[in-house]
A and B are shown apart, each in its own frame.
Chain A
Amino acid sequence: MQFDSVIDAKLHHMKQPGKLTRRTTVTLPAAYLDQIEALACEKNTTVSATLSEFVSEGLRQHASQKNGHDVVAAYQRIFGSFSEEEMLLLDGVVMEPIQRRKR
């Protein structure tokens, strides 16, 4: 894989209304950059804005996946920690010991 496209060589902070942005340098496969540029041109927007959209969606997906793993692991930890009798209580089944009659 080629990493031959440099977007920017400078790093500095730039404040826009309601949105903090930062310039940085990233190296992307040339083919990806070509596609991003073509999309930006198609949507009449900038390469940065188009790239931001993809990064934002990728980060959202990553967070969702992490959340999914967290929830499953939590359920397994929580409900795997109890005995069968305790699980009945956790599921709302409350049973009392049977009183044996003395003969």
Chain B
Amino acid sequence: MIDPASGPYLFDTSAESWFGRFGGPPGAAWLRRHVERHKVTVSSITVAERIRGFGRVLQTDPARRGSVERLRREYLANLGVVIPLDAPAAIAAGEIMALLPDPPTPPRRSHRAVESRQERLSRWRFDILIAATALVSRIPLVHNNAADFEPIRGIVERIPSRFPTLGPLDLIRCSTLII
């Protein structure tokens, strides 16, 4: 178990969702204790990803405008620290994108719907931007998306010359916070 008093950590988009839906009482207790010491820290890319998501939900179900708007406002009201994408993070992200141009896993699909290659690529690039923010800020990244973040950690470790003075990328899976 990771000491909740330790930190700060950068919470990926997937980590926020994990605490809200899958963390259960142990996850909630961990986050409560963590927030007693640290503000929840996210990348500006997570905010962009999330606000885009609220917008897409509204497009698919305009009848829910009132409730979705209320939840969107509540999300924004509870934002802690938002780390903007600065030049060093952009440079690190560009290096990762050059080294890992293709997403490590195929587009998501279910029996009724499929993610386009273009959407999968943009999601992959969002994850690279978030990882680069954590790398440059030297803050461990808490995530629930090992499939995308582990390859990034691996490339930073394998080719350190492309990331001078940076690294390693410290990753923490949500589930390991409470075990």
Chain A residue with minimal CB distance to B30? Answer: A72
CB distance from B99 to the nearest CB of A (A): 22
Compute how far the CA of A7 lies from the CA of B49 in the bound complex, rounded to whole angstroms. 55
The 0/1 profile, CB within 8 Å of B marked 1, for residues 58-92 of chain A is: 00010011011111101111111110011111111
Could you tell me if B71 and A77 are in contact, using CB atoms closer than 8 angstroms? yes
**Chain B interface, DSSP helix/strand/loop, else mixed:** helix
Segment with Cβ contacts to B, from A13-21, A29-37, A40-48, A94-102: A94-102
Chain A residue with minimal CB distance to B50? Answer: A90
Compute how far the CA of A76 lies from the CA of B20 in the bound complex, rounded to whole angstroms. 4
What class of interface size applies to chain B in its complex with A? 35 or more
Residues of B within 8 A of A (CB): 13-14, 16-17, 19-21, 28, 31-37, 40, 49-50, 52-54, 56-57, 60-61, 67, 71, 74-75, 77-78, 80, 108-110, 112-116, 119, 123, 126
Residues of A within 8 A of B (CB): 61, 64-65, 67-72, 74-82, 85-98
